Amino acid sequence: MKVRLFPNGTIQMETEGIKGKRCTDYAKVLAKLADAKIYSMEKTEEYYQQEIINVDETQRLRDN
């Protein structure tokens, strides 16, 4: 995640390596932490890619 702070108070954030819609969760967390509003959001190619989730079978067995 790249975060840029500008002299006028604007915050610009860019995520890398986060596929799918999960990247927007990071933007929401940053906005909440900074007590800021999201005015625009540009979606990158990664937004439209399928998120890959690795499941640890051992953990799943313990959770059940």
Q: What is the pLDDT of residues 1-11, one digit of tens each?
A: 888 999 998 88
Q: Which domain, by its residues, includes 44?
A: 2-63
User: Running DSSP on this structure, what letter comes out for residue 45?
Assistant: G
Task: Say what the pLDDT of residue 16 is.
Answer: 87
Which token pair is 58?
């051992």
Task: Say what the pLDDT of residue 8 is.
Answer: 92
Alpha helices in 12-56 (DSSP H): 23-33
Burial degree of 23 (CB within 10 A; 0-12, 13-18, 19+): buried
Task: Say what the pLDDT of residue 60 is.
Answer: 54
Residue with tokens 């799918």: 20
Mean pLDDT by runs of 10 across the 64 residues of the chain is 90 87 87 87 87 67 57
Domain count, the chain: 1
Cα separation, 56 vs 36, in Å, equals: 36
